[in-house]
Structure 1
């Protein structure tokens, strides 16, 4: 009898162990399948320092640690990145926040789920040869000015800045020249006399003496003065519908990028640069580090949209984005801070 009871207990124990093993196996399989669901994010110029937190999160392994399979793609033109999102080729864009406003005006609802920078992180540059005649925005009249692309955020910004300086945007010959090496070539060859771009392109041109800074929108003080307040710029924006149906994935992505923002605030520019691919330095690591050191304040500390920020952006672009004419924009539908509470 005792032998039968012992055998029964052993059988029951074996069943419990089998059940526990089966549950663990199924859970692991589900987690693996979940991690295998690739999330494609396109960055509007992945080597640009304004988008540093996303690449840094990948380099530090924060995405994989969260169980995410994130693919970072790149296209230096924010308009092209936006097109990829609308086609369904990617799930999100790391680009300028103002695209969420433009898209809402066109009937496409997308929202920023984490804000990377609270300033444009850009500078208006003038070539060395033109710097003697152009010492202010007002003197850009009659000159060729380089922007990333027509309809881009850089295009909207220079048109606003021209208006504020008392000249018509049409008085400036706005030329789409792209970014990086293409921007440098256009300025160096005299195809444009001035332009607006980001680091590391800014530092490459200024450190070599080929250009001078006319207006620095990397720092908070000049941004407030020129644009009327903090200016939400670099962000991760995604379709509202995708965010609603993939809240767990969005939370993990926001948490990973939030950790990268914290890393930026708690490490030196040199330490951060060590984590980045060598190709990002453009053969000038020293200038890359100096640029990052001088502009770290552009990054948000918590990824949250600042109060009044969306209103500042709308005020800047409303007169120059033809899609906004006669449209009511619900700014509360263009961003969310709801995923930030779990990022620390």
Structure 2
């Protein structure tokens, strides 16, 4: 009996050890990675939050931590290997690459830029040519929005010198328009909806109709892409699954979830955010003719090259480079 008991004890011990080993393997299967996102925790980063909330990252073998910073810091951290993934604005990525940082766009998440000229409809502005002689605010002469203004005016057969450009800080630029201190601002198209919600009768000219650009895109370093292809592929797969979940699902439900769990400072703005997600992100940012043919995140190299060449023309970057060196054209084929 003692022998049988001893054997049973050993058997139980072996089973426990095997269970612990299996548990350890499961834990090891979840690779911890960090993504640094441009700005702050806002509900417009909905695909990231959906991928996390519904376990799409976990299904891909990833445990993802969200951090927030400005685009320049994100790209420096990516290049240095301090974080594995970043989600900055495409204009900043072009600048980083032109200045020698070994960053790679692995998913052109936003198919368009979100810059726009915003103005009160009472101003009589309808086209870029109508900005001649008007006071137009930008946040800085080095901002992508200033380049967009230059290109718009050039395509209208005029010059940015025909506009009375004023520099107004990010925190004050909307108030400058509302108070009629300026006739127009070149800023984010998302603010068009916020102004409308406040009862301001505003119009909008999308910058992307004149200069193709990209909003937020998923980036990593060349080194991480080369040494961790499965993690990169897993992140992209989870992001694509989240985008499909939102596009085919109930946007209002997902917005409510994201505000409650990830961006509580937007509590009470669920209706406005839902409208913006449905009208801007679903219809024009996350999806395009290119994504219909090639899947989410498709990197149109011709479009990227146009933006790169324009940045060089207006001396926003020091030298030209090939878009193919920066952008993965078909993320699904990584």
- Taking structure 1 as the reference length, what is the TM-score of the superposition? 0.75
Alignment pair present for 1:120 and 2:113: yes
Alignment pair present for 1:96 and 2:86: no
Q: CA RMSD in A?
A: 3.6
Q: What displacement does 1:253 show?
A: 1.5
Give runs of aligned pairs for residues 40-119 of structure 1, distance below 5 A: 40-47=35-42, 49=44, 51-75=45-69, 78-79=71-72, 81-85=74-78, 89-119=82-112
Match of 1:277 in 2: 259
Structure 1 residues 163, 88: CA separation in 2 closer, same or farther (over 3 Å shift)?
Answer: farther
Give runs of aligned pairs for residues 235-254 of structure 1, distance below 5 A: 235-254=217-236
Give runs of aligned pairs for residues 290-329 of structure 1, distance below 5 A: 290-295=275-280, 296-298=282-284, 299-300=286-287, 301=291, 302-306=296-300, 308-324=302-318, 327-329=319-321
Would you say the 8 A contact 2:78–2:103 is kept in 1? Answer: no
From 268, 271, 274, the counterpart of 1:286 = 271
Would you say the 8 A contact 1:46–1:55 is kept in 2? Answer: no
Would you say the 8 A contact 2:297–2:331 is kept in 1? Answer: no
**Which is worse superposed, 259-268 or 56-65?**
56-65
SS, match of residue 108 in structure 1: coil
Extract unaligned runs of 5+ from structure 2: none
State the alpha-carbon separation in 1 of the partners of residues 123 and 268 from structure 2: 29
State the alpha-carbon separation in 2 of the partners of residues 143 and 260 from structure 1: 43
Deviations 1:212-268 (A, max 9, x none): 123135xxxxx4x523xx644321122212222232322222111111111222024
Alignment pair present for 1:193 and 2:179: no
Would you say the 8 A contact 2:95–2:316 is kept in 1? Answer: no
Match of 1:205 in 2: 195
- Taking structure 2 as the reference length, what is the TM-score of the superposition? 0.77
Q: What displacement does 1:85 show?
A: 4.3
SS, match of residue 220 in structure 2: strand
State the alpha-carbon separation in 1 of the partners of residues 95 and 88 from structure 2: 13
Deviations 1:57-115 (A, max 9, x none): 3344433443433232334x544544554565543331222333322221112111112
Structure 1 residues 322, 204: CA separation in 2 closer, same or farther (over 3 Å shift)?
Answer: closer
**Which is worse superposed, 111-120 or 232-241?**
232-241
Extract unaligned runs of 5+ from structure 1: 1-5, 218-222
Q: What displacement does 1:25 show?
A: 4.8
State the alpha-carbon separation in 1 of the partners of residues 175 and 124 from structure 2: 21
Would you say the 8 A contact 1:78–1:152 is kept in 2? Answer: no
From 23, 28, 31, the counterpart of 1:30 = 28
Q: What displacement does 1:192 show?
A: 3.9
Match of 2:215 in 1: 233
Give runs of aligned pairs for residues 6-25 of structure 1, distance below 5 A: 21=19, 23-25=21-23
State the alpha-carbon separation in 2 of the partners of residues 25 and 272 from structure 1: 32
